[in-house]
Amino acid sequence: MLRKAGLRPTRQRLELAHLMYGSGDRHLSAESLHAEASASGIRVSLATVYNTLNQFTGAGLLREVAIEGHKTYFDTNTSNHYHYYIEHEGRISDIPADHVKVVGLPEPPDGMQIKRVDVIVRLSRLPE
């Protein structure tokens, strides 16, 4: 997978890839992946985790989901779909693409095309 994406399969990339892709589609933050790596006995710095996530995203192996600019998640499911953000839990979950209808998109400026439309639906608990 790494070679096909143009990435050299280093030991750290392979170990992190195993964590990311070993149990189905997931939403990860750099911090959660770093904690999981540490708990699994994988010695890797947080900076290396950030670099690896960004490299995988650039190679099309992950999808970046930014929440208000300061919180970024990485999604192993790169297909066209949308997300719920559960605010009180600080996590995201998938919304299938056929459950959201996006209409009325503007024409892009000359020389540009729409690459993807990101929809994040924020959820909070009902008041008691």
Residues 54-89 pLDDT 10s: 999 999 999 999 987 778 999 999 998 999 999 999
The whole-angstrom separation of Cα 34 and Cα 86 is 22
The domain spanning residue 27 has which CATH number? 1.10.10.10
Domain that holds residue 12: 1-128
What pLDDT does 103 receive? Answer: 92
Question: What distances in angstroms separate CA 6 from CA 26, 56, 60, 63, one per listed residue?
Answer: 22, 10, 10, 17
SS3 state of residue 65: strand
Residue numbers in the chain where pLDDT is lower than 70: none
Would you state the pLDDT for residue 128?
A: 84
Q: How many domains does the chain have?
A: 1
